[in-house]
């Protein structure tokens, strides 16, 4: 099968022929219809998060089940499924606590990928979705109904659940709250629409790009503030009765954004840390101020998502037009043009670029 292989950090991916082992017990092979490009893929390709090469990245995918491991599965051949990086054993302490994204024992299975000469290839983020097929653990899948296009559905695998889940699950934000969302990329726009659906009374978007603040309003932001404006903090305070926001979501992996968040949070307020920085990044904070104002800082990984609970919820909201997904797609590219798509994503102005495979037009193989 064809895949986009990373052989060197910070270099174009090579479209090449790879071997994919058949699914083992508990695993499923999925022929992909679509895989979106996420900023996490860029971080890996740039080498910011390390990892062994050669590797295949890509982790926001959807497609059709094309083979099942021994012992059967809850899935059937031809079924439409979402493919995510959330691999969970179902029995460790975190899985038992309903937090599969923190599974303590998953992720140790050998990669199903290799070069034709037998050289092992890393399965990036447990998925390796920049390829015509993937073999993943069945815990990474969620069933998809017939009425959602697979390129649109692919977005549910990461950016949407990370953003909406930060509001619904991590923050459990009550209706009527005030919210600031720092960063209006893929995750940020989904945090904004999550806050709208959750009934926030005010949603203030911050970004360094003025044109993105306009898009933020389309997704539900009530106000836009240029993050680099010298009076950015004063503007947020003016919009929140001088208090700051009760919930401040950081959706970009930038230390500056985290440090800015501290000054925008109301007494007793909560900062939700969803943006993933580089391995060596640290922020400065004044512990006395956090303690004195009883603020909370909460990490949010994959929006605290439980696939079987959250994906049906999101699809229902999409069907009603309350969760906007089609509008999140900037462009579609064939696998052969993935480097173009990645370069476009790296420029920062796009929402989601999606790689669309042959099976997208053809239906179940």
Q: Which residues of this chain interact with Zn ion, rule CB under 5 A?
A: 38, 40, 88-89, 92, 95, 103, 158
CB of 212 to Zn ion, least distance (A): 19
Cα–Cα distance for residue pair 29/73, rounded to 1 Å: 11
Q: Nearer Cβ to Zn ion, position 73 or 305?
A: 305
CB of 125 to Zn ion, least distance (A): 8
CB of 101 to Zn ion, least distance (A): 10
CB of 71 to Zn ion, least distance (A): 19
At 88, is the secondary structure helix, strand, or coil? coil
Q: Nearer Cβ to Zn ion, position 83 or 173?
A: 83
- In angstroms, the Cα distances linking 173 to 36, 152, 179, 209, 272 are 28, 26, 9, 27, 11
The conformation of residue 71, written as its DSSP 8-state character, comes to T
Q: Nearer Cβ to Zn ion, position 163 or 244?
A: 163
Q: Nearer Cβ to Zn ion, position 89 or 216?
A: 89
Q: Which residue is nearest to Zn ion (CB)?
A: 38
Q: Nearer Cβ to Zn ion, position 107 or 334?
A: 107
Cα–Cα distance for residue pair 51/119, rounded to 1 Å: 16
CB of 260 to Zn ion, least distance (A): 23
Reading the block at residue 310, the tokens are 């959250």
Token look-up 């969302």 returns 181
CB of 226 to Zn ion, least distance (A): 26
Handedness of CA 21, 25, 31, 36 (dihedral sign): negative
* Partners of 35 in beta bridges: 61, 355
At 364, is the secondary structure helix, strand, or coil? coil
Reading the block at residue 33, the tokens are 């219809």
Q: Nearer Cβ to Zn ion, position 39 or 202?
A: 39
Q: Which of 130, 92, 117 is nearest to 2 (CA)?
A: 130
- In angstroms, the Cα distances linking 60 to 119, 181, 244, 256 are 25, 23, 34, 27
């Amino acid at each position: 099968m064809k895949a986009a292989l990373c052989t060197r950090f910070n270099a174009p991916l090579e479209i090449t022929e790879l071997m994919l082992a058949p699914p083992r017990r508990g695993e499923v092979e999925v022929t992909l219809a679509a895989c979106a490009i996420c900023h996490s893929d860029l971080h890996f390709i740039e080498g910011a998060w390390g990892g062994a090469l050669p590797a295949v990245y890509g982790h926001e995918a959807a497609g059709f089940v094309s083979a099942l491991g021994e012992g059967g599965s809850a899935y059937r051949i031809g079924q439409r499924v979402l493919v995510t990086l959330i691999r969970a054993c179902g029995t460790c302490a975190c899985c038992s606590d309903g937090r599969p994204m923190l599974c303590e024992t998953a992720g140790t299975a050998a990669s199903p990928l290799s070069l034709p000469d037998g050289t092992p290839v890393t399965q990036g983020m447990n998925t390796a979705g920049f390829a015509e097929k993937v073999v993943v653990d069945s815990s990474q899948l969620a069933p998809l109904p017939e009425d959602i296009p697979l390129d649109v559905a692919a977005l549910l695998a990461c950016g949407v659940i990370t953003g909406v889940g930060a509001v619904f699950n991590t923050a459990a934000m009550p209706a009527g709250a005030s919210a600031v969302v720092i960063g209006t990329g893929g995750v940020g726009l989904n945090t904004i629409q999550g806050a709208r659906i959750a009934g926030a009374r005010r949603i203030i978007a911050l970004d360094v790009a003025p044109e993105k603040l306009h898009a933020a309003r389309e997704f539900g932001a009530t106000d836009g503030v240029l993050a680099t404006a010298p009076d950015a903090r004063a503007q947020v305070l003016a919009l929140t009765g001088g208090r700051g926001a009760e919930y401040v979501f950081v959706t970009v992996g930038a230390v500056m954004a985290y440090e800015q968040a501290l000054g925008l949070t109301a007494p007793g307020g909560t900062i939700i840390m969803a943006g993933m920085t580089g391995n060596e990044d640290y922020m400065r904070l004044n512990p006395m101020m956090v303690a004195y104002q009883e603020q909370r800082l909460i990490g949010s990984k994959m929006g605290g998502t439980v696939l079987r609970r959250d994906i049906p919820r999101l699809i229902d909201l999409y069907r009603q037009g309350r969760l906007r997904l089609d509008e999140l797609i900037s462009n579609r590219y064939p696998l052969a043009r993935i480097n173009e798509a990645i370069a476009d994503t790296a420029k920062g102005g796009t929402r989601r670029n999606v790689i669309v495979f042959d099976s997208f037009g053809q239906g179940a193989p």
